[in-house]
A and B are shown apart, each in its own frame.
Chain A
């Protein structure tokens, strides 16, 4: 079945870096737009980044632009998020999610499915 499994979370000091990964299975990864969405403890969802199915287009939330980099390896079915210059406010559960339909078809606003998330704690 379709599955997304995040990894790479942990505790890190402010200013340091961390790299998250999302392993995809059960579908043709190279055909789907992928997203990162985060949720600070006790807070709401925040869209973080998106990458097109071929990696040719990427976009970031203003809160992470210039510090985070989204990438994908379609040969390994993995989605990554390189997080540099981490701040306390980056502390959150990070989810990867897939656009429901392949390529440009279907809704542009249907994140389905989601992984279970990986927790990042930025603290001194």
Chain B
């Protein structure tokens, strides 16, 4: 079964940069050609921060960026701010009209 693997947690101090990885396994997920990233604050609905690997929706700060190398996609948050503390999920189109989310990464701003 295909899986998207994320670290359980990452942390950083205000102003620092952090990277959250998302590694795909077999099949279409290995390509990660269409990966998006969602931010979810506790008790809130998810919000898209990055789509199609590295595209940023309007209104999302340019501190958020995305990249991909091989079967690993990354969300990079630079200039950490307190409000960035949240859960982050990667999501990949898995083919045949199906999608798969990663397990989520809790970002703590120290």
A interacts with B: yes
B contact residues, range: 20 to 34
Q: A107–B38 Cα gap in the complex (Å)? A: 14
Interface status of B64 (Cβ within 8 A of chain A): no
Q: How far is the CB of A37 from chain B (nearest CB, A)?
A: 8
Interface status of A124 (Cβ within 8 A of chain B): no
Question: Which residues of chain A are near B96, meaning CB under 8 Å?
Answer: 59
- Indicate if the CB atoms of A50 and B45 lie closer than 8 Å: no
Interface status of B7 (Cβ within 8 A of chain A): no
Q: A61–B97 Cα gap in the complex (Å)? A: 10
- Indicate if the CB atoms of A47 and B98 lie closer than 8 Å: yes
Q: A46–B94 Cα gap in the complex (Å)? A: 13
Give A6-44 interface residues, CB cut-off 8 Å to B: 35, 37, 44
- Indicate if the CB atoms of A107 and B34 lie closer than 8 Å: yes
- Indicate if the CB atoms of B38 and A45 lie closer than 8 Å: yes
- Indicate if the CB atoms of B36 and A107 lie closer than 8 Å: yes
Question: Which residues of chain B are near A109, meaning CB under 8 Å?
Answer: 34-36, 51-52, 91-93, 99
Give B59-108 interface residues, CB cut-off 8 Å to A: 87, 89, 91-93, 96-104
**Most chain B CB neighbours (cut-off 10 Å) among A35, A46, A59, A114:** A114
- Indicate if the CB atoms of A45 and B104 lie closer than 8 Å: yes
Interface status of A116 (Cβ within 8 A of chain B): yes
Interface status of B41 (Cβ within 8 A of chain A): no
Q: A37–B48 Cα gap in the complex (Å)? A: 14
Residue of B nearest to A57 (CB): B97
Give A66-87 interface residues, CB cut-off 8 Å to B: none
Q: A110–B52 Cα gap in the complex (Å)? A: 8
Question: Which residues of chain A are near B92, meaning CB under 8 Å?
Answer: 109
B interface list, Cβ under 8 A from A: 34-36, 38, 40, 45-48, 51-52, 55, 57, 87, 89, 91-93, 96-104
Given contact pairs A35-B99, A47-B91, A114-B45, enumerate 10 new A-B contacts (beta carbons under 8 Å): A45-B46, A47-B101, A100-B57, A107-B34, A107-B52, A109-B34, A109-B51, A110-B51, A111-B46, A113-B45
